[in-house]
Amino acid sequence: MPTPGHHTPNKVVVIGGGYAGTLAANHLRMRADVDITLVNPRPKFVERIRLHQFVAGTGEATVDYGTLLGEGIQLVVDSATRIDTAAHTVRLASGRALDYDYVIYAVGSTGAIPSSVPGAAEFAYDLAEFESAQRLRARLEELPLDAPVTVVGGGLTGIETAAELTEQGRRVTLVCGRTLAPSFSASARRSVAKWLSRHGVAVLEAAVVSEVRPDVVALSNGAVRASALTIWAGGFGLPELAAASGLRTDAFGRLLTDETLTSVDDDRIIAAGDAAAPSDQPLRMSCYAAGPLGAQAANTVLSRIAGTDPAVISLAFTGACVSLGRHAGIRQLARKDDSAVNVYVGGRMGAAIKEFTCNLAVSRIRREARKPGSTVWVKGGPRPEQPATAARVVTSP
Ligand SMILES: Cc1cc2nc3c(=O)[nH]c(=O)nc-3n(C[C@H](O)[C@H](O)[C@H](O)COP(=O)(O)OP(=O)(O)OC[C@H]3O[C@@H](n4cnc5c(N)ncnc54)[C@H](O)[C@@H]3O)c2cc1C
């Protein structure tokens, strides 16, 4: 503990030990004199991109931090409740407070079951976080195999969940909202639809769930379908820590930053991952972006400590993957701006690529722990054209 008046320089508190925060903590070790604390509510790292496997019982989704964190990083198992920007402390649920010189804000995203859909908050389950996935897994284990299950959301998480469950012999309906796999090219979308129908999933496009009851879902076209279990996979929500700390966010609750990932309100707070909204133009919420953003957030902190100008973020997309059970998958190729091109890899090769990327997300954290600065990513991609220092978003407080 530093004695009063003798402040340890370069104390960095990383809030959130997911793909972005864990990588950022390791990357900060490029400088030996940084005191790094990682705050996370659980003692284990959660591979969120495997939570559909965890739910279906086809895989685990936690990894011991011991193999992921570089030497000297202090893990505090707790939740941040407020960043006190005046006192430079992070307040924790336990009542503890951590002093900081810099904060890396990497709290990720959460489930989002809409309160506007009657019964959804009460009866639907989500799988966006480890605890909600645990509840869902327990509920599934109680249900007979032939009980009808509804998955709400035609995006990648909904598709992966429906596919994983049908492969386990479940009776699954996928309610897509507008279309199935809207971010994919038409040909990849057809391939997903074909796999799902061949494996017995009833895919309802142009269908919106208007009410959830314990044993049915009602659709906005008036149809009512039996549903012993309803799983909500219709998008992510955001933790409220930034707003609760008086920091400006985008409309969804991501921390509003400039192009160096620095909060527009406080240059000691740097964001990364799903919870960052650089220039109010956030990158796709993804594990793909979270790691590289973690490294770049750490670089911004290291530049500020060194008294140099932080670099503007740079990250290009290359595509997205979806798993279709354990033996098939689709790798959709995309332009740097993340828009799909008409090329995809499917079948077993698609599954192998997906598995490779899931493993890579964790192995690069491990590599960064051994060798800080080793993470590489594809640079480029469209960002607003403005220099870092002028990139501060101007919105009325
Ligand atoms: C089922 C599923 C499948 C997915 N598949 C893919 C995929 O194939 N490809 C892809 O790119 N993305 C995928 N995603 C999205 C991906 O998981 C997220 O975009 C990614 O996890 C974001 O990383 P992150 O580090 O920003 O946040 P997270 O991984 O969510 O980590 C944030 C951490 O911060 C912690 N935290 C939150 N609040 C606090 C607090 N107040 N104090 C302390 N700690 C806090 C959280 O508990 C968590 O441990 C999937 C998501 C799900 C749910």
Q: Give how far Cα 233 sits from Cα of 64, 174, 204, 377, 384, Å.
A: 27, 10, 14, 28, 30
Distance CA 298, CA 294 (A): 6
Q: How far apart are CA 63 and CA 50, in angstroms?
A: 11
Chain segment 335-361, per-residue pLDDT in tens = 999 999 999 999 999 999 999 999 999
| Residue reference for tokens 């314990």 | 214
- Do residues 145 and 309 make contact, with C-beta atoms less than 8 angstroms apart? no
Taken in order of first residue, the domains within the chain and their CATH numbers are 10-109+238-314 (3.50.50.60), 120-232 (3.50.50.60)
Q: What pLDDT band is residue 7 in, cutting at 50, 70 and 90?
A: low
Of 175, 62, 191, 69, nearest in space to 120 by CA: 175
Per-residue pLDDT tens over the stretch 246-305? 999 999 999 999 999 999 999 999 999 999 999 999 999 999 999 999 999 999 999 999
pLDDT at 385: 77
Which residue's alpha carbon is at the smallest distance from atom 31 of ligand 1?
18
Question: pTM of the full predicted structure?
Answer: 0.96
Which is the closest atom of ligand 1 to the Cα of 19? 25
The per-residue pLDDT for 176 is 97
Please give the distance, rounded to the nearest whole angstrom, from the Cα atom of residue 179 to the centre of ligand 1: 25
The predicted-structure confidence for 202-245, as pLDDT tens digits, reads as follows 999 999 999 999 999 999 999 999 999 999 999 999 999 999 99
Ligand 1 lining (C-beta closer than 6 Å): 15-21, 39-41, 46, 48-49, 51-52, 79-80, 106-109, 127-128, 157, 160, 239, 241, 273-275, 285-288, 290, 321
Q: What is the mean pLDDT of residues 40-60?
A: 98
**How far does the centroid of ligand 1 lie from the alpha carbon of residue 37, in Å?**
19
Q: How confident is the model at residue 234, as a pLDDT?
A: 92
Closest Cα to atom 7 of ligand 1: 49
Angle between helices 156-167 and 186-198 (to 10 degrees): 30
Q: pLDDT value at position 337?
A: 95
Question: What is the reported pLDDT for 394?
Answer: 47
Confidence band of 1 (pLDDT split at 50, 70, 90) = very low
Torsion, Cα 180 183 187 192, to 10 degrees, reads: -40
Inform me whether the pLDDT recorded for 396 exceeds 50.
no
pLDDT higher than threshold 80 for residue 392: no
Neighbours of 135 (CB within 10 A): 14
Distance 391 CA to ligand 1 centre (A): 26
Q: Supply the pLDDT for residue 5.
A: 46
Q: Which atom of ligand 1 is found nearest the CA of 129?
A: 53
> Among 174, 147, 305, which residue's Cα sits nearest to residue 232?
174
Residue length of the chain: 397
Residue 27: in which H helix or E strand, if any?
helix 19-27
Look at residue 388 and tell me whether its pLDDT is greater than 80.
no
What's the gap in Å between 19 CA and the centre of ligand 1? Answer: 7
**Residue 310, number of CB atoms within 10 A of its CB:** 23
Distance 20 CA to ligand 1 centre (A): 8
Mean pLDDT of the chain: 95
In the chain, the amino acid numbered 177 is G
13 contacts 103 by C-beta, under 8 angstroms:
yes
The pLDDT tens digits for 298-337 are 999 999 999 999 999 999 999 999 999 999 999 999 999 9
Taking the CA of residue 22 as reference, the ligand 1 atom at the shortest distance is: 25
Report pLDDT digits (tens) over 124-159.
Answer: 999 999 999 999 999 999 999 999 999 999 999 999
Ligand 1 atom nearest 161 alpha carbon: 1
Task: Give the whole-angstrom CA distance, residue 376 versus residue 165.
Answer: 35
